Chain A
Amino acid sequence: MTLDEVKIGGLGASRRRVEDNRFIRGKGNYVDDVVLPGMLHMEIVRSPLAHARIKKIDISGAYKIPGVRLVMTGEMMAARNLGWMPTLSYDTQAILATDKVRFQGQEVACVIADDPYIARDGCEAIVIEYEPLQPVVNPMQAVAPDAPLIRDDKVNQTDNIVFDWEVGDVIGTDQAFAEADVVSEIDMHYPRSHPSPIEACGSIADYDRSTSKLTVYMTTQAPHIIRAAVSLVAELPEHMIRIISPDLGGGFGNKVPVYPGYVMSILASILLEQPVKWIEDKSGNLISTGFGRDVYLKGQMALRNDGKILGVRMHTDSDHGAFFADAQPSKFKIGLMHSAFACYDIPNAHLTARGYYTNKAPGGVAYRCSFRVTEAMFFQERMVQAAADDLGMDQAEFRRKNFVRDDDFPHRTPFGFLTDSGQYEKCLDVGLEAIGYDDFLKQKEEAAARGRLLGIGISTMTEPLGAGNSREYDILGIKMFDSAELRVHMTGKAILRTGAKTQGQGHETTWAQIVAHELGIPAEDVVVEEGDTDTAPFGMGTYASRSTPVAGAAVSMVSRKIRAKSRKIAAHLLEVSEEDIDWELGRFYVRSAPDRGVTIQECAMAAYSNVPDGMEPGLENNAYYDPPNLTWPFACYIATVEVDPLTGVWDVLRVVAVDDCGVRINPMIVEGQIMGGLTEAYAMANMQFITFDADGNCVGGNYMDYLLPTAWETPGFELHEVVTPCPHHPIGAKGIGECATVGGPAAFVNAVIDALKGTGVRNIDMPLLPDRVYEAVTQHHDVSGAPPVKTD
């Protein structure tokens, strides 16, 4: 009797999320829920100015408040060699400002007190004198002749440029442009956005002098990287550091970097020998922690009249804020921007990138994307639409003509990536059919005759998800593989631990499904645990859609090791040789006598009670998985919109999403990821950005200005699927967590630009606020959204 895989919660089962049992009952255990005996509370004083010299800090007022235990300033940190810390991109970042403040919201002092009210009273009692300096709020200002030097702390830094970087073939690309019939151009700004998890950052540091052990409860997506970083920064031995990342209220890339607040709470706990809790408020999170995007994108495409793309030139100017703290692989200065155009068969491409320091918060984190892939795909799909328009070609037809063919995999992209698999044209066809493409074009024409502006936008893309391999991908030299450890108990129940860290993705549910698929142990019999560096195997954490491609693969591999040992035990129990045994889900049987068999649970019991001579007892193992390649999911997103020409307001009519992420482990969770991603895509296209005024004030540092869409305005999404299994992943799965956030924005923007077709408008920068759209509609020109925002 063969087990039904879906019934035991294996692959393809839309199993309800195990973790929701506690979340919907309010029984989650977040950092702020952790209370330790004798715990003190820390609060941070932040700079009100974007760029200013610190003249004087008077902390005496804070010490007059009963219950204030410690006040720390940059000077004190510097005296302990903790004024600065390394960033994830080989730069340095101030923990507490010493010489000057370099962005609004920068940490200047902190107060540790008996309760959080007193800590805040203490912060208010600190008096700081600043001498304002000229602020820099965009790359153009950063290289202006009169620009102030932001990083005067760095010995060899003479300007505000972080890096110059290039990739691709400059000669071949020049040649392609020389041969082009048409050259299409685009010039855009992808605005600064913020991952904005519902739970902000926080930590509880607990240094115990009697054991010399430092335990830190921390909101981190990558606890093992943090352990290594703390060991290096605080000069504590790694085995005496335990990082516990409990339940996380979302991450989206925001909880990858090391933030000053973590380090301050650790130092405070060491100094006071008491646990110190720091819980960041939402404004602190929005103004000071890792943002996403903020890149200027200039592109050129060399085209033949028949619609064939001959080559692409890309240039990016990226605004990194005051410290280069991007969380990304060391080798790639502008992340995986050069993954752009991977789904198109383009012979030549060249990318140049320049990074800039500005007086803005640091940390270009990958906000729900695989290291700047969001910008890359937006760049690609906006460029593709502009090119199709310039050629007078239908935008779907233009894509179809340039797609990599199904039989052309693996395909080497012009920037050197190797895409693994896909059925691009099929996905596009499913999307066009679902939206009713031809009908909509007719409807659009009829509406135009009555003065109504309808538009349709398409975004098709493949993106690289699941870093490593470890040859090319590392963070601070630590190679990007991942791990899983599986212990099967004697009754056939199991505990699985991985080096990843769930933060809403549902690992506790889906990892068990992979075990069920590999071993036939029902998913409900497998408990999943992550986030404690004392118990979990070493891993690089969860971001960049790498969990399923890397840690998920490790879960498969460790399960297979368990199966291999179980096979030997089964042979012993069945008294036949291993070669005479076959496997079906959950059971070994004698090939010649299929009725004679033992279940995986029987093997587990025997592992603890009846192992063959010479075999180690027990049934547990681990696996470290170094992926041979990234996984390459494909997506086709199509949006239709109507623009109100009198106000510039645009409404979404329909959104169709076709995702091919290979084999779906839990379709319900996959669909949830896509809907969440499309919601964020809609938000970025429609309403969401963090901008700055000319004085460097952050506009968007609270939820009245930084808008998260609600169910009220979020459009409905129609989901479809195509399945092309990943050829190199053990279960054929590809990453999916970020596809919709990455590919979605261009669909909405392309739709609005399409509605304005014929007016000469090529671009409106996101978010497509009504005033920007209105300006484009009435003035017939492109609209820039680059800061500083105009105010009066």
Chain B
Amino acid sequence: MKKNLPLIVAFASGLLILIAGFIPHKPFGMLEETLTNWFMIISSFAILLGQISLIQANVTRVAHRSPNWQYYLAGLISFAGMVVFGLLWGMEKTPGILGHGEGISQNLGSKPFDYIFDYIYMPLSATMFSLLAFYIASAAYRAFIIRNFESNLLMITAVIVMLGRTSFATWITSWIPDSWGILQLPRLTDFIMQYPNTAAQRAILISAALGVVGSSLRIILGIERSYLGGGK
């Protein structure tokens, strides 16, 4: 019962959406809209669940004084700060429990939540991703070691695309006459993106779509049931 009923729920909800996809009229169209709305609400609770799990893990580390527990405490404090400020004074144009907090916003220049977002979260996020620029360089070295024709192709294309998006590429290939304009790096980059790249992306999309259809059918028909987990 504990396993079969969820399978029926998955089958019924999946079937309803599929029918609505082919018969977009009452009552199926309306049912699809309702189910999609429900899906969005339940997904929000799933996000909440993820955050509760993160807090649980960090609280356990701090409580047990695990190695580096001080950093996890800092993580918990920053989480609590963001949530409290967001709940009390809201974000952007949305008011919080205490309204928009005009007084505090005047002093900070923006709402406390937005202040933390602009001056701490955004620099952290952008720097974290920009850090990858250095590691991607070392990955490039390993990827670009020419072993065979295929890795050669990958390297040449990557170099053309990287150069083709800079003003340097325009400068070094501007001498090529317009009749051979396709050899100018910016135009060659556009050609690669428009034709061979699109071809490969399309092949991947078409093949993956068939895979998605197959696995979706397995889920809806209850053949694939690993999402229910183990246990009784």
State yes or no: do A and B come from one complex. no
Binding site for B on A (CB under 8 A): none
